[in-house]
């Protein structure tokens, strides 16, 4: 089923194309009350003489082909036969088949290049134009010759297209009273023949290069991104590895980057990077380790097996608050020592684990000494929780793990809240730094939460507009807070903003959630959808507002 959303301000015609099978839709607009010929439709008045027209059409491809991608392993100079099965879904068709050059988008998706020259390596042994009767099955057959290319991976394209048929006649009323729609459906498949050549001489792969690299903040978490460029005439299959290093990190943890087109895969295939000739692809990966404030280096390299090929480094400057979601899971105790998790929960309950590992990371060249105490919100010692070590050292550039667990002699019958008070010093300075991590001992049920929401406010600073929401915890225990704000104008894609990320709100504490767009918002009216989540299972807070920039917020 296809739903098409159209904004109709004038009588000018519009042309839309869809590919996954190519559905070509020709539409003619006029401005008054619409009627859709043989098409399910819905019309919404948007004001200012505009209407949103939703056309819904159930569509089925006129034929199916298997497989979509043939994968072979062959040496250079070898001729490989191939065969695709094509089956009609119940309509008579005129089918055309032709070899096509392939192109690649930044996401990694491979499409056919309508302007490029067709590859000479593909020869068809079956007809390239034929009729297919309803329900009939036949085969597209041919052979491909593996060229003498110094590449470990080759890919060739085959375009199969049905000429299509009209689902309805144009029914446009020129008197300005109707909207007519005529739909022409065209099914096409871009098939691929992928070949692994086993070539060991990868001198051409050394020409791969990185155009850019950075650590970006996405949903409050650090994400490593790089753009890989292939300037050669050959396709390649490789991996991309990255790491974030600082002057004092002795053991940076490498991670693998992948293309967004393979993000849904869950196995090792997710990390295969296939890059076509004269193409660019964007690769990315979440950075799961703590990024300390200060200057860091993002290192990225192309690898083939254990061999590193192209390599590039990019300077990265990290400031506190750059990655707020990361700081919920990892606490910066100072500029050099961190611990994760930053919020500690243990308990004798179905909703809490009996133990929790605390991992301290020392990103300095100095030894750190740590003393840990467990106290409640009134400053008194907490009973019922045991630490595997309350005084310990963290060596330069290394990590130290201790365990917090429910004591077997615990007599607590109610949930308790407090902090892990950490006293931190190093081998060079005598001063002691005090930091506290929130701590919860969950026994039985949790106390009822009492959250007070303020009014959503807009804040203008220069040409930037942001939104603020104050949240107050009137209850007796910690409450996690996560807020999401959708900003929609009806003219562009809605902007999704977030803050809070589950950071616990202390009893009696008021915190302001900040929703900051990355670019200026043009003047006009916006619909804001606010969604705030707290404890799992609790009813979320939802509100829809309308704001006119420069004016007060109005409840919708």
Residue 498 pLDDT: 96
Residues 6+ apart with CB under 8 A from 413: 443, 444
| Cβ atoms 492, 517 nearer than 8 A | no
Residues 163-220 pLDDT 10s? 765 544 545 555 555 555 555 567 788 999 999 988 777 778 889 999 999 999 999 9
Q: Is the pLDDT of residue 131 over 80?
A: yes
Which neighbouring-strand residues pair with 443? 348
Please calculate the CA angle 523-528-530 and round it to the nearest 5 degrees. Answer: 150
Residues 413-436 pLDDT 10s? 788 999 999 999 987 776 789 999
Is residue 328 helix, strand or coil? Answer: helix
349 secondary structure, DSSP code: B
Cis peptide before 152 (omega within 30 of 0): no
Is residue 351 helix, strand or coil? Answer: coil
Closest CA to 415 of 507, 489, 332: 507
Angstrom distance (rounded) from CA 544 to CA 529: 5
Give phi and psi for 8, each to the nearest 5: -115, 85
> The domain 451-549: what is its CATH number?
2.60.40.2360
329 secondary structure, DSSP code: H
Residues 6+ apart with CB under 8 A from 521: 465, 487, 489, 549
Domain with CATH 2.60.40.10 in the chain: 63-165+185-196, 203-318, 331-442
Which neighbouring-strand residues pair with 461? 464
pTM of this prediction exceeds 0.85: no
Residue 528 pLDDT: 94
Is residue 391 helix, strand or coil? Answer: strand
Residue 14 pLDDT: 36
Is residue 457 helix, strand or coil? Answer: strand
Residue with the bigger pLDDT between 456 and 176: it is 456
Residue 17 pLDDT: 31
pLDDT grade, residue 338 (50/70/90)? very high
Angstrom distance (rounded) from CA 3 to CA 401: 53
Is residue 354 helix, strand or coil? Answer: coil
Query: What is the DSSP code string of 310-327?
Result: EEEEEEEEE-TTSSHHHH
Which value, in Å, is the radius of gyration of the alpha carbons in the chain? 30
| 5-9, 73-77, 429-433, 480-484, range with greatest mean pLDDT | 480-484
> The domain 203-318: what is its CATH number?
2.60.40.10
Residues 242-292 pLDDT 10s? 999 876 665 678 999 999 999 888 889 999 999 999 999 999 999 987 788
Average pLDDT, rounded, for the chain: 83
Residue 56 pLDDT: 60
| Cβ atoms 464, 490 nearer than 8 A | no
CATH assignment of 63-165+185-196, given 1.10.540.10, 3.30.420.40, 2.60.40.10, 2.40.30.30? 2.60.40.10
Angstrom distance (rounded) from CA 325 to CA 318: 14
Angstrom distance (rounded) from CA 146 to CA 294: 51
31 secondary structure, DSSP code: S
3-state helix, strand, coil in the chain (%, to 5): 5, 55, 40
Angstrom distance (rounded) from CA 513 to CA 531: 12
Residue 350 pLDDT: 77
High-pLDDT (> 90) share of the chain, %:
52
Residues 379-412 pLDDT 10s? 999 988 999 999 999 998 889 999 999 987 767 7
Please calculate the CA angle 526-527-531 and round it to the nearest 5 degrees. Answer: 135
Give the pairing of strands 344-348 and 337-340: unpaired
Return the H-helix or E-strand segment holding 103. Answer: strand 93-104
Angstrom distance (rounded) from CA 13 to CA 10: 9
Residue 5 pLDDT: 43
Cis peptide before 67 (omega within 30 of 0): yes
Identify the burial level of 378 via C-beta atoms within 10 angstroms of its C-beta, where 0-12 means exposed, 13-18 middle and 19 or more buried: exposed
Which neighbouring-strand residues pair with 122? 144
Closest CA to 170 of 158, 154, 182, 156: 182
Residues 12-50 pLDDT 10s? 333 333 333 333 333 323 232 222 334 556 666 655 566
Q: Is the pLDDT of residue 543 over 60?
A: yes
Domain with CATH 2.60.40.2360 in the chain: 451-549
Give phi and psi for 443, each to the nearest 5: -130, 120
CA dist list (Å): 395 to 295, 365, 391, 430, 437? 21, 8, 14, 17, 21
Q: Is the pLDDT of residue 301 over 90?
A: yes
pLDDT grade, residue 10 (50/70/90)? very low
Which whole number is the average pLDDT over 339-344?
Answer: 94
Residue 372 pLDDT: 96
Angstrom distance (rounded) from CA 106 to CA 96: 29
> The domain 331-442: what is its CATH number?
2.60.40.10
Residue with the bigger pLDDT between 297 and 12: it is 297
Q: Is the pLDDT of residue 4 over 70?
A: no
Is residue 205 helix, strand or coil? Answer: helix
Q: Report the Cα 292 to chain-centroid distance in Å.
A: 23
Is residue 135 helix, strand or coil? Answer: coil
Extended strands (E) in 220-354:
221-230, 236-245, 255-259, 273-275, 279-286, 294-304, 307-318, 331-332, 337-340, 344-348
Residues 6+ apart with CB under 8 A from 445: 415
Q: Is the pLDDT of residue 552 over 70?
A: no
Give the pairing of strands 457-461 and 188-196: unpaired
């Amino acid at each position: 089923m296809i739903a098409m959303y159209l904004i109709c301000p004038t009588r000018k015609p519009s042309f839309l194309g869809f590919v996954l099978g190519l559905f070509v839709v020709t539409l003619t607009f006029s401005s008054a009350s619409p009627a859709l010929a043989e098409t399910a439709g819905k019309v919404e008045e948007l004001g200012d003489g505009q209407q949103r027209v939703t056309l819904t059409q159930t569509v089925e491809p006129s034929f199916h082909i298997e497989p979509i991608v043939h994968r072979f392993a062959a040496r250079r100079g070898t001729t490989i036969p191939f065969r695709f099965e094509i089956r009609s879904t119940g309509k008579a068709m005129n089918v055309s088949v032709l070899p096509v050059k392939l192109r690649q988008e930044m996401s990694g998706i491979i499409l056919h290049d309508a302007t490029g020259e067709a590859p000479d390596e593909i020869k068809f042994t079956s007809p390239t134009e034929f009729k297919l009767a309803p329900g009939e099955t036949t085969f597209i057959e041919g052979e491909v010759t593996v060229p003498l290319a110094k590449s470990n991976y080759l890919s060739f394209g085959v375009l199969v297209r049905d000429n299509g048929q009209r689902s309805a006649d144009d029914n446009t009323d020129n008197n300005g009273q109707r909207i007519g729609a005529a739909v022409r459906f065209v099914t096409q498949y871009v098939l691929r023949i992928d070949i692994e050549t086993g070539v060991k001489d990868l001198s051409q792969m050394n020409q791969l290069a990185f155009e850019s690299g950075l650590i970006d903040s996405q949903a409050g978490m650090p994400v490593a991104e790089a753009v890989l460029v292939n300037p050669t005439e050959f396709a390649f299959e490789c991996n991309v590895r990255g790491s974030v290093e600082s002057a004092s990190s002795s053991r940076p943890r490498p991670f693998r980057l992948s293309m967004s087109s393979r993000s849904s895969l869950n196995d090792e295939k997710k990390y295969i990077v296939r890059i076509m000739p004269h193409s660019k692809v964007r690769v990315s990966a979440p950075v799961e380790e703590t990024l300390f404030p200060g200057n860091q280096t993002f290192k990225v390299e192309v690898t083939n097996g254990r061999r590193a090929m192209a390599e590039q480094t990019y300077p990265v400057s990290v400031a506190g608050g750059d990655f707020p979601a990361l700081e919920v899971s990892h606490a910066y105790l100072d500029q050099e020592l961190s611990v994760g998790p930053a919020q500690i929960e243990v308990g004798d309950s179905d909703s809490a684990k009996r133990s929790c590992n605390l991992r301290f990371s020392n990103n300095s060249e100095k030894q750190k000494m740590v003393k840990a105490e467990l106290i409640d919100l009134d400053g008194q010692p907490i009973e019922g929780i045991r630490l595997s070590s309350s005084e310990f050292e963290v060596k330069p550039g290394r990590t130290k793990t201790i365990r917090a667990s429910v004591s077997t002699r615990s007599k607590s019958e109610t949930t308790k809240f407090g902090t892990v008070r950490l006293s931190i010093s190093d081998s060079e300075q005598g001063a002691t730094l005090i930091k506290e991590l929130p701590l919860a001992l969950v026994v039985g049920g949790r106390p009822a939460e009492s959250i007070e929401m303020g009014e959503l406010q807009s804040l203008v600073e220069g040409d930037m507009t942001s939104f603020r929401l104050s949240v107050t915890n009137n209850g007796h225990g910690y409450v996690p807070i996560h807020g999401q704000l959708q900003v929609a104008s009806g003219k562009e894609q809605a902007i999704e903003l977030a803050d809070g990320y589950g950071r616990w709100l202390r009893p009696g504490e008021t915190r302001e959630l900040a929703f900051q767009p990355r670019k200026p918002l043009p003047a006009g009216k916006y619909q804001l959808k606010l969604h705030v989540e707290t404890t799992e299972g609790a009813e979320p807070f939802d509100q829809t507002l309308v704001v006119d920039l420069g004016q007060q917020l109005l409840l919708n």
